[in-house]
A and B are shown apart, each in its own frame.
Chain A
Amino acid sequence: MESKYDRPLPEINSLTAPFWEYCKKHELRMQFCRRCKEWIWYPKAICPKCGKNDQMVWERLSGKGSIYSYTVIRQVIDNSESFSKDIPFVIALIELDEGPRIYSNIVGVSYESISIGDRVEVVFEDVTNEITLPKFKKL
């Protein structure tokens, strides 16, 4: 854990807190509507399919998926200066095996070895006392 983490952090509120609490336990969970059998990501107040919230639960995912698309960040913008020391780095849109897609970093490899379709698995980075970020490594 870095002593002074200087990058943008999410705001934790009642809607998003369960996600971040599970991340702290190194579990990847997302909302799931038992009525619709639908995963929901990012966190929502009601199921986008049935419009209700009475069957929504936080279900665990395998943490495995494939890269659907990705970018290599080459320059920072004003409000994210702290990322400049990482450049170039990869943000991928990962399609989890259960269906939902999540944006995250691919860590542990150079951007040159990344392609669409690559298999990846979640790894957890404890960046502050409150926040653990779900990142991904190649399988």
Chain B
Amino acid sequence: MQSGNAYIGSENPNGTLARKFAIVGYGETEVSRARVDKGEKKLSVKEYLGMAVSLALEDAGIEKKELENQGFGVTGSAYPHAEIYSGEVVQDLGISPKFLIRADTGGNSGATLLSQAGMAVSSGLVDVVLCVGADTPMNITYPGAVREWRYEADFQKPFGMMGPNSQFAFIMRRHMHQYGTRLEEIGKVSVSQRENASRNKNAYLKAPITIEQYMSSRPIADPVKLLDACIQVNGGLAFIVASEEYAKRFPKEKVVWVRGMAECHNYRHGSALSPDLTYTGITVCSREAFRIAGIEQKDVNLLQIYDDYALAVIMQLEDLGFCAKGEGGKFVSEHDITYKGDLPINTGGGQLSAGQPGMAGGMVHIVEGIRQLRGEAKERQVSRAEVCVVTSLGCLEYNNTFAHASTIVMGV
């Protein structure tokens, strides 16, 4: 694979971001469901932010003072905070950046931070950007804490819509209807990811499951069942983005390169009024990210695919071009997608098993990709990990799929 000329995607020939950038450190806290009765910790979002930052600094082997007058980015947090949020976080952490970003793209937030951090270091504005995400959805104690979209409050909830599980159910039903996608195929994603999670000591759910357990799991919003959905946890993650020049001071084996990256927002497949609910924006941004990185599907060793729901993995395998639209279920049934398989996917268990730390959920995939490429995934290490594709999605739309989509091609 080429080492140069990787950058954030744009078809614009005048784009000036033709410089590669790196990730030189990461941190991932323990996760918890805040079940104090079971001996689990109930920590605040500030503690998770602090721990994730400490872990990332330690991993990168740099002092906090090196981040002064550099870049800093933070995801949102579902637990109520002021809309003016990043200003509180930098006070909490004692960081004075000259470039400050806060992502509001839901599950895509980690990718948004990576993209904007990449632009900042590529442009020469800063050398390094510390990106952190933490959330404590399990600490929400009163209904008003849950924020909602206006279209959800005005035109979905009066009819009984019950959040993401019910919003995604329409997509899952449609995929099964249009293509004959079977529950057994969808369930294989959940079962395989749990097998991966059984080798991840930081996964919240580690006990292996069978396809029978998936099939008989509790119905929530048909056809979505308990084992179709991710499990929310409290937790925090961080990664440190560096310019090509700044990355040279780090040991080669600790540096992961972003070779191509692209985003797509409010993608609608077909007509704007009546879009096809089986496509995501990955359809567009993956083509661009692959082109920039100079790779094809056959070059990909492993994938970290955004998995708020098991079917979302199948949809994105189609959108990424690993199979034709509608054949994702069959594709999954014909491949071993565990860490030891021919196409490993969500090797740490993903959000389905490791857990979704709220607005930081998409960072689970980014951090697991870094870990695999650095060869640090221990008992779940993929044997050949040189090119890893990471996707992110966010914001379940009204009469569509996801408002946010990102594809990241990472390599060593």
Residues of A at the B interface (CB closer than 8 Å) are 7-11, 16, 38-39, 41-42, 48-49, 68-80, 83, 86, 88-89, 91, 93, 95, 99-105, 111, 116, 131, 133, 135
Given known contacts A72-B222, A74-B220, A74-B221, is B159 in contact with A10 (CB within 8 Å)? no
Chain B, 152-176, CB within 8 A of any chain A CB: 153-163, 166, 169-171, 173-174
Evaluate contact between A42 and B154: CB separation under 8 angstroms: yes
Report the separation of the CA atoms of residues A55 and B171 in the bound assembly, to the nearest whole angstrom: 33
Report the separation of the CA atoms of residues A86 and B274 in the bound assembly, to the nearest whole angstrom: 29
Contacts of B273 in A (CB 8 A): 38-39, 41, 99-101
Chain B, 261-278, CB within 8 A of any chain A CB: 271-274, 277
Evaluate contact between B274 and A71: CB separation under 8 angstroms: no
Evaluate contact between B222 and A116: CB separation under 8 angstroms: no
Given known contacts A75-B220, A77-B162, is B153 in contact with A11 (CB within 8 Å)? yes
Evaluate contact between A116 and B177: CB separation under 8 angstroms: yes
Q: Is B39 an interface residue (CB 8 A)?
A: no
Report the separation of the CA atoms of residues A103 and B218 in the bound assembly, to the nearest whole angstrom: 24
Interface residues of B, count at CB 8 A: 36
Chain A residue with Cβ nearest B169: A71
Q: A10-B155, A111-B222, A133-B158 provided; 14 other pairs, C-beta below 8 A?
A: A70-B173, A71-B170, A72-B221, A75-B221, A78-B146, A80-B160, A86-B160, A99-B271, A103-B399, A104-B159, A105-B160, A116-B174, A116-B177, A131-B158
Evaluate contact between A73 and B221: CB separation under 8 angstroms: yes
Query: What are 16 sample pairs from A and B whose C-beta atoms fall under 8 A apart?
Result: A10-B153, A10-B154, A71-B221, A73-B221, A75-B162, A78-B146, A88-B222, A95-B274, A100-B273, A103-B156, A103-B159, A103-B161, A105-B160, A116-B173, A116-B174, A135-B159
Chain B, 385-412, CB within 8 A of any chain A CB: 398-399
Q: Is B143 an interface residue (CB 8 A)?
A: yes
A102 CB to closest chain B CB, in angstroms?
A: 8
7 closest pairs, A vs B, by CB? Answer: A71-B169, A10-B154, A79-B143, A72-B222, A8-B157, A69-B170, A74-B219
Contacts of B171 in A (CB 8 A): 69
Report the separation of the CA atoms of residues A38 and B157 in the bound assembly, to the nearest whole angstrom: 26
Report the separation of the CA atoms of residues A72 and B273 in the bound assembly, to the nearest whole angstrom: 24
Evaluate contact between A91 and B166: CB separation under 8 angstroms: yes
Given known contacts A8-B157, A79-B143, A103-B159, is B222 in contact with A69 (CB within 8 Å)? no
Chain A residue with Cβ nearest B150: A11
Evaluate contact between B146 and A9: CB separation under 8 angstroms: no
Report the separation of the CA atoms of residues A77 and B170 in the bound assembly, to the nearest whole angstrom: 18
B155 CB to closest chain A CB, in angstroms?
A: 5
Q: Is B224 an interface residue (CB 8 A)?
A: yes
Evaluate contact between A68 and B220: CB separation under 8 angstroms: no
Contacts of A95 in B (CB 8 A): 274
Contacts of A69 in B (CB 8 A): 170-171, 173-174, 177, 277
- Interface residues as binary, B169-197 with A (CB distance below 8 Å gives 1, 0 otherwise): 11101100100000000000000000000
Contact of B166 among A7, A71, A79, A135 (CB under 8 A): A71
Evaluate contact between A49 and B153: CB separation under 8 angstroms: no
Evaluate contact between B221 and A133: CB separation under 8 angstroms: no
Chain A residue with Cβ nearest B173: A69
Report the separation of the CA atoms of residues A93 and B277 in the bound assembly, to the nearest whole angstrom: 11
Chain A residue with Cβ nearest B142: A78
Report the separation of the CA atoms of residues A101 and B397 in the bound assembly, to the nearest whole angstrom: 13
- B153, B171, B399 pick with most chain A CB within 10 angstroms: B399
A131 CB to closest chain B CB, in angstroms?
A: 8
A124 CB to closest chain B CB, in angstroms?
A: 13
Evaluate contact between A68 and B169: CB separation under 8 angstroms: no
Evaluate contact between B160 and A91: CB separation under 8 angstroms: yes
Given known contacts A42-B155, A49-B272, A105-B160, is B170 in contact with A93 (CB within 8 Å)? yes
A24 CB to closest chain B CB, in angstroms?
A: 14
Given known contacts A16-B154, A91-B166, A103-B155, is B160 in contact with A73 (CB within 8 Å)? yes
